[in-house]
Amino acid sequence: MSLSHRPVTENDLQIICGFPQNASELFFLFPKADFPLAPSQLQEAIAQRSDSTVVELDNEVVAFANFYRSETDGVCSIGNVIVSPAARGRGVGSYLIKHMAHLAFSKHLAAEVTVSCFNQNVAGLLLYPKLGFQPYAIEERKNKEGNPVALIHMRLPRNAT
């Protein structure tokens, strides 16, 4: 299994749009988007963010993330995190989040990296603490149906790596 990363390209958008398997998964990735995710919606998010990155597994795009906040008050916030259904449970998410944290600390000189995860996203809630992220706040949000959900904010200080 060979993992690598690179900046996202326009050719990747359609592939990434196929990763969310239902409206719930899309909500975890991109709460404002409508299912199914269209390349134009993804392109709009990428344009407002920085360091949009894909992970390749044996030369196939299998994951995506970016920063929705970088260099503000020494904090980089990772967002739009998604792993292809075919690559889940194979260490791809860990690789992606470790790379994004490294980018935050080395390129942006961040003091800390944050990530936020909805309470129904069990995979994310189990992954981030394994990588050193600690919860620090819970924010009430509404899902697409208007029901309350919890958005759990986690952080990884520079000295934790």
First to last CA, the chain: 25
Class of domain 3-160: alpha beta
Q: What is the pLDDT along the chain (161 residues), one digit of tens a residue?
A: 899 999 999 999 999 999 999 999 999 999 999 999 999 999 999 999 999 999 999 999 999 999 998 876 899 999 999 999 999 999 999 999 999 999 999 999 999 999 999 999 999 999 999 999 999 999 999 999 999 999 999 999 998 85
Residue 1 is predicted with a pLDDT of: 82
Q: Both tokens of residue 73? A: 């008050």
Distance CA 29, CA 47 (A): 16
- Domain chopping of the chain, boundaries: 3-160
